[in-house]
Amino acid sequence: MKELSKIIQNLPQSGIRKLQDAAREIPDAIRLETGEPNFKTPDYICEAAAQAMKDGFTKYTAVPGIKTLRDVIAEDFGKRLGIGINANQIVVTGGGTMALEIVLGCIGNPGDEILVPDPSWPVYTMQVLSNGLTAVPYVMPADNGFEPKRENIEPLITDKTKAIMVNTPSNPTGAVFSEETVKMILELAVKYDLYVISDEMYDFLTYEGKHYSLKAMDPDGRVILISGASKKYAMTGWRIRYAIASEKITSLMNQLMVATIGNATAVAQKAVEAAITGPQDFVEFSIKDYKARRDAAVKIFEEEQVGFYYPHGAFYIMVDVACCHMDSEEFALKLLAEEHVAVAPGGTFGESSKQMIRISYGTEMDALCEGIRRMCRFIKKYSK
């Protein structure tokens, strides 16, 4: 038979998925590799979804999402970002990957280059490549708190550069970009006429400092904000994400939605609408809980004198494992086999984090602390 897609055959594998698969084989493994809240979706959200199903809300919806949900998102983001947003600037789609797929599909032409942070969530690079575009990594230097400097980005820009992807607060580093960094990126975007794809999934999770939204400072409609309910409302399985962009971009996205997903799941849209309009106590509680876990994790690393990078947002910590002289995937697989602790290998996020591993503190406190202690023991054992 003729050859299947070369592009898909050559896509890089996600090191996180590899560790997840390996961890499933070890039933008592402590799971620190996945970026997923340990909480259940709050009851008021599930009840709204159940009611919607009973009411027969089980049909196709408008392609960019139900108007009531888009109105609610527009109002929520408009208020928080201090800018005017209307429902036509919103496209509600499946999970994060689908939102990126649609955005990249609408802005890229074959041969275009997309600047991708290094380190970053591995799906960015996969999505760029699967759209037939070229991923150009820009380094987020660890010694600058994983915030990019102008010199990490500007020399990489060519005539083919179409967009820059940005993620603050960051997965995997927990970095929260300063206002200065955000302004620098937007300045470059204007100077070289680039679109900005800003993934602000963790905007609610900054423990120190402030989250600066690139969309809030969008000079002329070039910023596409991607956000969603997965982490904020513990709704990873509901698969809803949204993009906020100029109407010129969202009308093209609607076109691609027709050709791909059609519309996001009807009942999940109702659930997200309930999440945003309902009581926000769960979000407030979870922020405090994540911060307590971050503080407990940091304390153990400090006590054990194991090198790590202090995170100010999201729920991830990068740990320095250079002293073990192992490839990060080898480290992660060996740690899993010996100590029954699963972590994400740094190499999957980019070249610059090959000597690191990422832990997620989406896991509950006791397991998190036990997992970190075992990991510190392992690092000391193999440290040369």
Note the residues at the interface with ligand PLP (CB under 6 A): 35, 95-97, 121, 167, 171, 199, 201, 228, 230, 236, 241
Least separation in angstroms between residue 212's CB and ligand PLP is 16
Least separation in angstroms between residue 187's CB and ligand PLP is 23
Least separation in angstroms between residue 172's CB and ligand PLP is 8
**119: cis peptide before it, omega within 30°?**
yes
Angle among Cα 315, 166, 182 to the nearest 5 degrees reads 100
Least separation in angstroms between residue 35's CB and ligand PLP is 4
- 100 vs 300, which CB is nearer to ligand PLP? 100
Angle among Cα 9, 14, 17 to the nearest 5 degrees reads 120
- 61 vs 170, which CB is nearer to ligand PLP? 170
Provide the 3-class DSSP secondary structure of residue 307.
Answer: coil
Least separation in angstroms between residue 114's CB and ligand PLP is 15
- 77 vs 121, which CB is nearer to ligand PLP? 121
- 89 vs 230, which CB is nearer to ligand PLP? 230
Kindly give, in sequence order, each residue whose CB lies less than 8 Å from that of residue 253, ignoring residues fewer than 6 positions away: 64, 91, 102, 103, 106, 243, 245
Sort strands 316-320 and 356-360 into parallel, antiparallel or unpaired: antiparallel
Least separation in angstroms between residue 159's CB and ligand PLP is 29
Locate tokens 């230097």: which residue? 141
Least separation in angstroms between residue 52's CB and ligand PLP is 20
- 124 vs 378, which CB is nearer to ligand PLP? 124
- 15 vs 95, which CB is nearer to ligand PLP? 95
Helix 96-107 to helix 247-259 angle (10° resolution) is 110
- 348 vs 379, which CB is nearer to ligand PLP? 348
CB 313 within 8 A of CB 291: no
φ and ψ of 227, to 5 deg: -145, 180
**Which residue's C-beta sits nearest to ligand PLP?**
96
- 52 vs 197, which CB is nearer to ligand PLP? 197
Beta bridge partners of 9: none
Least separation in angstroms between residue 351's CB and ligand PLP is 19
Please report which residue ranges of the chain form alpha helices under DSSP H: 6-9, 15-24, 43-54, 67-81, 96-107, 123-130, 150-153, 179-191, 247-259, 266-277, 281-304, 328-339, 365-382
H-helix or E-strand containing 320? strand 316-320
